[in-house]
Chains A and B, each alone.
Chain A
Amino acid sequence: MKLIFDYDENITGHVPSESIDLDLPKHLMRSDLPLPNVNEVDVVRHYTNLSRKNFGIDLGIYPLGSCTMKYNPKVNENLARLNGFSQLHPLVPASFSQGTLELIWKLQQYLKEITGMDEITLQPAAGSQCELLGLMMAKKYFKDRNEERKKVIIPDYSHGTNPATSSMCKFQTVTVQSDTRGNIPLNKFRDVLDSDVAVVMITNPNTLGLFEENLSEISDLARSNGTLLYCDGANMNALLGIGKPGEQGFDMVHLNLHKTFSTPHGGGGPGGGALCVRSFLADYLPVPRIVKGDEKFSMDYDKKKSVGKVHSFYGNFGMLLRAYSYIMSWGSNISRVSKNALLNANYLQSLLSDVFEQPYNRKCAHEFVLSSKNLGARSAMNIAKRIMDYGLHPPTIYFPLIVEEALMIEPTETESKESLDNFASVLKKISDELVKDPDFIKKSPHTTKLGRLDEVKAAREPNLRWLPKFKV
């Protein structure tokens, strides 16, 4: 393995040489900068070779549950690189940014239509930042009403970000255990819903890939308790044109543009977040708000009740642009996305339900969770590793935490039937292999450049950076 720091000193030349003497006091200057000078040819080969050690959607199915790894249209990458967008500084006057502001404003309209909400901000950089913003807004809302509510109810089927966010806002998390159908049991919900509950955070469909069946009742109970209902919309890929959170009783919903609206994940980011709210919460949204006047678009900072800002500027605009392009491509046909996401997930579930245990006997939404506990301890891990030997990407494993040996599978609508059939047949084969030759499978993967990596060693003997041979 060769690091970029291991190349021999060479010549670069991307900018002109500059020989000016810096007129700075010595004690404010750096004595040495230990970065390598690598020739461009080596740079390109280094990173091209690294890319070949990676798996992406462009290579095949990437069925990570809860991550919505769908195909990312190539044209959107070209559009994000148009000079008029990529070369626009965030501090230009509004007369220079009319195209950008119009795009953001229109995207806001479309996302409000899709979610059935009244107002929206596109400032958060990701879904978890939407959650943080939503809870900060809730906190301020209750403060203005002279109510000191300290609790947030979160079902056990939620993403880990929900309780983590609740803690960041100094709320106390109250966990409700879901029932055998994967719903929030109403009796348990009533028990914990007291006057101290500020927010209920619900993921719909939840991380088990199931629509919450008690939503109307939960929403009624929350409302009559003065509690806000927050929808973690990470799984909105199941609901486009099928159901609107705004019509299902939610007061806030966030969207992950990098999931549902197909902006590329880039190896972990950047993402894009949209937080959509009912009008009674609109005053708390961050500034600036994008405003459409008679002739021009502008930014409005004059919002006294606003919680403030969560981004250096206005959000991950480049991702908003890609999401906008995605929505414009589908237009009024966009429900085809979710319908086919449901079709693909249910078809794959039906192919696999006799291979693995299906802990919830229901039709699924856009994803489903199976359990491989019948195949022994650590079987989900072994299956995941073996899948790579067949040139495919494994599903999410050991999440949600409430299912033992969980395999969480989200094929998305951009897989063909052939791809789904192949994935199912590989999983069947592996489940047979696990019975016939378990030791071989436990040592998989066998065909990747590296075998199983030692995570315990990584944490016990941390090596988190390259060190130069001399002190910086």
Chain B
Amino acid sequence: MDYVPITNKDQKEMLAKIGINSIDDLVGDVKLRCGKLNLPPPMSEMELVQHVTALSEKNKIPRYFVGGGSYNHYSPAVIDHMVLRGEFLTAYTPYQPEVSQGTLQSIYEFQSYICLLTGMDVSNASLYDGASALAEAALLSSSHLRRNHVFVSKGLNPRYLQVLKTYCEGAEIEISDKIDEKTACVIAQYPDFFGNIEDLQTLADEAKKAGALFVTCVTELTSLAILKPPANFGSDIVVGEGQSLGIPISYGGPYLGFIAVKQDLLKKLPGRIVGLTTDDKGNEGFVLTFRAREQDIRRERATSNITTNQALLALSATIYLAAMGKDGLINVAKASYKQAHILHEKLKEVGFEPLNDKPFYNEFVVKATKPSEEILSSLLKKNILGGINLGENKLLVCCTENNSAQDIEDYVSAVNE
């Protein structure tokens, strides 16, 4: 394929206007030129489709009973039809509001939805993913309070913990096992990695007592359709992953990081924020606002280096929430809850030991009487990905509304064989 619309005739005229004979005269400034690249021969569109389709067929798609930060929910058809519109898909960051009201309004709606789900005051326009959003919350807390310890409650997704550690090491922040006057923030996942729904009030109070910020991390946003919003525990910052809202699991990305804060932390937020204003005739419209926090203006004094975010996924999530509505989202949450509890019950019946000591949403931990590897491999033979191996015969299992009664029956019969 070729995506250069310049003809040979055009090229001659253009070179003449520039005053040179050949394109090679333009690369004279590159003192260290390279030789011809060793890349495969170009492909026509047809060959490309055949080639990439063949690669996709080397993958195998099982039936999923696995979550761990990526949830296989149903995604309404309307989302793709909207996000594929070139006006959304091929636009840049809305620097020129007069020709970007579509993107800007959709971000304002996204910010509103995130606030409604989490109960927080303000949200930004998105961050990369759940794990980096959590890391940004730690950096925000540390710079806001000028403290350099963070406390992480057990039950945080281990992948998130690893990203948090990586960012903290770079930023010279210590992950500490006690809450004291050095603690910048206390972090808890809700529901936690093992599916537990914990009353976070005690931990939030402990954070407050130490003068630290309380950060709640939500990796399965559909849970907030039925659960108490994290703001109601006194969270100062709520971060997490919005992939559950209609975004394909797509091998882990692109997903949708979000961050929402209490009003007093607004000016510390990383990334873009959209606000409502008026034009010169008094008509309402939207703009990027509080730009003075951002890297292109503030440089080394910016709140973060983030520039590109996940705008199109924020649009997907917004359209998902619009299309599902309150009723649809509650149905998704209830069905996910129900399927997980049915499977949980059936696994208990066939001898699995339940390990959650608190109520759970759509993920739970069970202990088998044989090694998890054996269980998972007998499930894989039935084309079922049966959960995350937690070692010591333990499995972290997940259901969504996408798991049918038949899937659950097959799961139970496979582990019971």
Contact = CB atoms under 8 A, between A and B. Distances in A.
| Residue of A5, A12, A350, A362 ringed by the most chain B CB atoms within 10 A | A12
A96 B31 contact: no
| Residue of B36, B123, B160, B329 ringed by the most chain A CB atoms within 10 A | B329
Interface residues of A, number: 203
Interface string B1-43: 1111111001101110111000100111111111011111111
B23 A93 contact: no
B407 interface: no
Contact of A346 (B18, B95, B163): B18
What bracket does the count of chain B residues touching chain A fall in? 35 or more
Given A33-B326, A126-B307, A313-B252, A88 B17 contact: no
A51 B43 contact: no
Nearest to A337: B4
B5 A331 contact: no
Contacts of A125: 128-129, 132, 253-254, 308, 310
B405 interface: no
Contact of A213 (B31, B307, B341): B31
A35 B326 contact: yes
Nearest to B98: A448
21 contacts: A4-B109, A13-B328, A16-B335, A24-B359, A29-B227, A52-B102, A54-B100, A56-B87, A70-B3, A84-B55, A85-B250, A100-B59, A243-B27, A258-B308, A311-B132, A312-B163, A328-B40, A329-B45, A417-B13, A457-B277, A465-B121
Which 6 pairs between the two chains have the least Cβ-Cβ distance? Answer: A313-B252, A266-B312, A84-B56, A58-B86, A99-B58, A308-B166
Given A417-B14, A463-B277, 11 more contacts: A54-B102, A70-B3, A84-B56, A267-B103, A312-B160, A328-B51, A329-B45, A388-B96, A450-B98, A453-B285, A472-B231
Interface stretch (B204-212, B287-295, B363-371): B287-295
A309 B45 contact: no
A293 interface: no
Interface stretch (A39-47, A188-196, A425-433): A39-47
B334 A18 contact: yes
B6 A131 contact: no
Interface string A257-270: 01000101111111
B308 A271 contact: yes
A46 B28 CA distance: 51
Interface stretch (A61-69, A221-229, A275-283, A372-380): A61-69
Given A313-B69, A337-B4, A164 B304 contact: yes
Contacts of A458: 275-277, 287, 289
A264 B139 contact: no
A327 B289 CA distance: 37
A464 B275 contact: yes
